[in-house]
Amino acid sequence: MDVKRLTIPEVMVLKPPRLRDTRGFFTELYSLQKTAELGLPTFVQDNMSLSEEAGTLRGLHFQSPPHAQAKLVSVLTGAILDVAVDARLGSPTYGHHVSHVLDCEAGEQMYVPVGFLHGFVTLQPQTRVLYKVSDIYAPACDGAVRWDDPDLAIDWGLTQGAATLSPKDASAQAFADFTSPFQHAPSEPTL
């Protein structure tokens, strides 16, 4: 498996190998052994979303402790711009973000650790995203920060007002009003 660290090194892009033949390809999307070797957590739940239109934006989401979630994001059909924002108090990259295009053809995955806000915008219609999470969904721990917050200055590649949003995302709090429940821990996964 190829591994690339982004400018916030705790966020990684993983590329599982693909075996191709005349029928198409085969890939192993997840291996407990391989993710353990990378120091990643055990994932306990799979979530999948279907976005009908390009420009559908989901995020910036988080789950606070005691049910904080790390995510392993894969695209099954279509393409997304995947974004992670460091929300760990005391981190040298607090409030900074990284992004990476994930698409079905390239087969890359993005690992988003606990302590990061996460969101994505679809780049193609009929985009299906599968993400593994390290803890169960807990509605009482669920939260969101505005995707278009000027303090975060994320370039989603959209024209003003072009995103399709849920009511939750449209009314999310500003980053300046966000009280982070996350602390920076120097013992993040290493290769």
Q: Which residues are catalytic?
A: 61, 131
Give the Å distances, CA to CA, from 106 to 74, 128, 167, 177, 182.
10, 14, 32, 37, 32
Do the beta carbons of residue 101 and residue 123 sit within 8 Å? Answer: yes
- Residue pair 173/93 in contact (Cβ under 8 Å)? The answer is no
Beta-bridge mates of residue 84: 98, 118
DSSP state of 43: P
* Residues 163, 155: Cα–Cα separation, whole Å: 12
Spatial contact of 144 and 173, defined as CB atoms under 8 Å apart: yes
Cβ-Cβ contacts under 8 Å for 135 (sequence gap 6 or more):
44, 45, 63, 67, 68, 69
DSSP symbols for 88-149: EET-TTTT-EEEEEEETTT--EEEE-TTEEEEEEESSSSEEEEEEESS---GGGEEEB-TT-
